[in-house]
Copies of this chain bind each other. A is one copy, B any other.
Amino acid sequence: MKKPLILVTNDDSIVAPGIRFLIDVMKEIGEVIVVAPDSPQSGMGHAITINNTLHIDKVNLDKEIEHEYSCSGTPVDCVKMAVHEILKKKPDLCVSGINHGSNSSINVIYSGTMSAAVEAGIEGIPAIGFSHLDYSWETNFEPTREYVKKITQEVLKNGLPEGVVLNVNFPKASKGVINGIKVCRQAKAMWVEEFDKRTNPQGKEYYWLTGEFVNKDEGEDTDEWALENNYVSVVPVQFDLTAHQVIKTLNNWDLK
């Protein structure tokens, strides 16, 4: 059987431990091509580069991989570049991550990792974004290996419905402590922002974005519940953003 062609990308940059681990797992499953940002792109959401040029450089961080490229753009740029310029064909699968930090609940909206997966989905490529709740670059990813493999193999076996990609998050738990996998919905949580106001050496004020994650959604069918209870959360994510159930309501408004 021909090995599946797997595109690997992320948003923490091509040298991040999370993507190096993901590449290592994917080599067990298929033929791997890597196209990932040359610098960290966290919080880039679904940004694309339209007012600047893009550069790609062939690198060789893993001797076993023939096609590995760093790209000056965003995660979404990386996917576009991989499919339309480097491969000039669709891979069988796109995996993004493993992100250093959570992309559960509302974080999916701000996430470069998930946007790469969504972009692949738009292109008709089955796609999975993987994220780990532990931000540290010292994280031990090994306990996630069996789950990354299992979920990836199930996607390759079953395919994904049109217009849907997977958002997978791993709890901060060591091997044996993870209770298994739970398919979930996105919790209704949000960030409550605070701005850390400082003064620069010239006396001008500036700000750092900071904030607190607030989850008031106690549903046991949510990703936040699963992660708190040491499950791996899997949320099917769609990019048809239409609130179909609201169309009827709006048609009753005076909009003629």
**Interface contact B43-A49, CB-CB below 8 Å:** yes
Given contacts A193-B80, A193-B84, A250-B183, contact A164 B243 (CB under 8 A): yes
Query: From residue A66, how far is it (CB to closest CB) to chain B in Å?
Result: 19
**Interface contact A238-B237, CB-CB below 8 Å:** no
Given contacts A44-B45, A122-B106, A158-B253, contact A207 B81 (CB under 8 A): yes
**Interface contact B236-A55, CB-CB below 8 Å:** no
Tell me the A1-56 residues at the B interface (CB within 8 Å).
40, 42-51, 53-56
Of chain B, the residue at the smallest CB distance from A151 is: B255
Copies of this protein chain in the complex: 2
Of chain B, the residue at the smallest CB distance from A192 is: B84
Q: How far is the CA of A241 from the CA of B118 in the complex (A)?
A: 11
Q: How far is the CA of A45 from the CA of B74 in the complex (A)?
A: 11
**Interface contact B181-A255, CB-CB below 8 Å:** yes
Q: How far is the CA of A188 from the CA of B239 in the complex (A)?
A: 10
Q: A56 contacts which of B123, B207, B247 (Cβ < 8 Å)?
A: B207
Tell me the A188-218 residues at the B interface (CB within 8 Å).
188, 190, 193-195, 197-198, 204-209
Query: From residue A70, how far is it (CB to closest CB) to chain B in Å?
Result: 14
What is the interface of chain A, defined by CB distance below 8 A to chain B? Answer: 40, 42-51, 53-56, 76-77, 80-81, 83-85, 106, 108-110, 115, 118, 122-123, 150-151, 154, 158, 161, 163-164, 167, 180-181, 183-186, 188, 190, 193-195, 197-198, 204-209, 234-244, 246-247, 249-251, 253-256
Q: Could you name 28 residue pairs across A and B whose Cβ atoms are closer than 8 Å?
A: A42-B51, A43-B51, A45-B115, A46-B109, A46-B110, A48-B110, A49-B209, A53-B208, A83-B193, A84-B194, A85-B195, A109-B118, A123-B190, A154-B255, A164-B243, A183-B247, A184-B247, A185-B240, A185-B242, A185-B244, A185-B247, A186-B240, A234-B250, A234-B255, A236-B243, A237-B241, A238-B243, A241-B241
Excluding A44-B47, A55-B204, 7 further A-B contacts by CB distance (< 8 Å) are A46-B46, A85-B207, A154-B253, A180-B256, A181-B256, A185-B242, A236-B247
